[in-house]
Chain A
Amino acid sequence: MFTPLITTARESLRYRGSGHVLWLLHRVTGLGVVIFLGTHIFGMSMATFNPPLHEAMLAVYKTPLFSVGEIVLAACLIFHAVNGTRIAILELRPALWDKQAVATRWSVIITLILLAPTIAVMAFKSISYYVTHGLK
């Protein structure tokens, strides 16, 4: 390995390129989803192994910070899925690769189209919950 991990991570943020931004976002959102998955599996397994801890985790999930986190998670999932589909299609059809700039634009547009109602619904439900139950 010629460059250490820290250098790679730092330079990944410093490099300028249109495809590079999407590559970086794909990595970050993928990492976010994996971290959530680990937390989720751990939390659910506690329902069997340590019910009080499971209850405590559920209580923490019902706080505004985690409600915002859920919306961020949804954004990560949607972007990762849409952009991943773009990558998969281009991987399977190299002939389309000269259209990658258009494909990149459409990835962002489709993500935003799917994200807008998702955020609206999730935010509405969260606000309704806190109006009914109050902040703890």
Chain B
Amino acid sequence: MKINLKIKRFNPETDKKPHWETYAVEVEPTDRVLDALHDVKWNQDGTLALRRSCAHGVCGSDAMRINGRNMLACKVLIQNIAKDGDTITVEPILGLPVVKDLIVDMEPFFAHYRAVMPYLVNNDPLPANGRERLQSPADRERYDDTTKCILCAACTTSCPSFWARGEYVGPAAIVQAHRFIFDSRDQAAQQRLEILSAQDGVWRCRTAFNCTEACPRGIQVTKAIGEVKEALRTGVIR
């Protein structure tokens, strides 16, 4: 089948503002949007800049806005979003500075990630056998959903609150905080909750649910944010 790929292009060295360019691409219905982008870059216009690594939905490098919604280009099949002759729009995720074409500067996103202490804090001595700190299957299950995050930024950059205010920590950072706040082995939940109850913490969430829809890993992002809000409201972590 033949599709048109309408891509938002921006080269900071030559362009004052972004512009759209359209490429006709021959694809299989079962190809992914990433395959179509590869076709453009490898066979039509080598100047197209995009970021991707594993190309199998694990590394989270190729989050972009496809047909108006944040997705991973490597996880979206052409047949699920277009018919023969259709045009697919592709643009960079919003809210982070565009470096070139579909590549954004992820540093502000990672700064928010680092701000919530995304690591296990436990100051108790190691178990007698010197091996891992054990927890029950039920305790592990409590935060299982939020361990799936691949830091692709699809959720954070789909959030209207983040577009309006980049200082907002954003859904991905809250998901990371949730992963440790509800971990029975962790001892820094209160510190994380204090960070998230600040002006640019969880209370900026307006429950638009864009993050949940955008997550390529199917994480219930808005629910996780809600659970952090509940922990702050009640003072109980359960």
Interface check A132, CB cutoff 8 A: no
Known: A16-B67, A100-B222. A23 touches B97 (CB 8 A): no
Cβ–Cβ contact A16 & B163, under 8 A? no
Instruction: Establish whether residues B207 and A98, one from each chain, have CB atoms under 8 Å apart when the complex forms.
Output: no
Task: State whether A16 touches B69 (Cβ < 8 A).
Answer: yes
> Main secondary structure on chain A at its contact with chain B?
helix
Q: Is A134 among interface residues, defined by CB-CB distance under 8 A?
A: no
Q: Determine the chain A residues whose CB is within 8 A of the CB of B118 once the complex forms.
A: none
A24 vs chain B, min Cβ distance (A): 8
A5 touches B208 (CB 8 A): no
How far is the CB of A66 from the nearest CB of chain B, in Å? 31
Chain A residues closer than 8 Å to B158, beta-carbon distance: 15, 17
Measured between beta carbons, the chain B residues less than 8 angstroms from A98 are 220, 223
Report yes or no: A3 in contact with B95, Cβ–Cβ below 8 A: yes
B29 within 8 A of A: no
Who on chain A is nearest to B108 by CB? A2
Q: Which residues of A contact B96 (CB under 8 A)?
A: 2
How many whole Å from B50's CB to the nearest CB in chain A? 20
A62 proximal to B (CB < 8 A) = no
Most buried by A among B96, B167, B230: B230
Interface code A72-100, partner B: CB below 8 Å = 1, 0 otherwise? 00000000000000010011101001101
Instruction: Name the CB-closest residue of B to A22.
Output: B208
- The smallest beta-carbon distance between B49 and chain A, in angstroms, is 19
Structural contact, A97 and B68, CB atoms closer than 8 A: no
Contact code string B210-225 (vs A, CB < 8 Å = 1, else 0): 1011100000101100
Q: Give the residue among B65, B164, B222, B230 with the most A Cβ atoms within 10 A.
A: B164
User: For the complex, what is the distance from the CA of A20 to the CA of B69, rounded to whole Å?
Assistant: 10
Instruction: Tell whether, in the assembled complex, residue A23 and residue B160 are in contact, meaning their CB atoms are under 8 Å apart.
Output: yes
The docked-state distance in angstroms from the alpha carbon of A14 to that of B210 is 13
The bracket for how many chain B residues form the interface is: 20 to 34
Interface residue B5 (Cβ < 8 Å from any Cβ of A):
no
CB closest residue in chain B, given A1: B166
A19 within 8 A of B: yes
CB distance from A21 to the nearest CB of B (A): 9
Residues on A with C-beta less than 8 A from B227 are 94
When the two chains form their complex, are residues B207 and A20 in contact, meaning their CB atoms are under 8 A apart? no
Contact A12 B213 (CB under 8 A): no
With an 8 A cutoff between CB atoms, is B165 at the interface?
Answer: yes
Are A19 and B94 in contact, CB atoms less than 8 angstroms apart? no
Chain A residues within an 8 Å CB radius of B223: 94, 97-98
B209: CB under 8 A from chain A? yes
Which residues of A are found within 8 Å of B97, using beta-carbon distances? Answer: 2
B229 within 8 A of partner (CB): yes
A90–B226 touching, CB < 8 Å: yes
Q: Mark A1-42, 1 if CB is under 8 A from B, else 0.
A: 111010110011011111110110000000000000000000
| Complex CA–CA separation, A44 to B92 (angstroms) | 49
- Given known contacts A19-B207, A20-B209, what 14 new A-B pairs fall within 8 Å (CB)? A2-B96, A3-B164, A12-B163, A15-B94, A16-B68, A17-B213, A19-B208, A19-B209, A19-B212, A23-B160, A23-B206, A23-B207, A97-B222, A98-B223
| Chain A to chain B: the 8 pairs with minimum beta-carbon distance, closest first | A19-B209, A94-B226, A16-B68, A2-B166, A23-B208, A97-B223, A8-B163, A17-B210
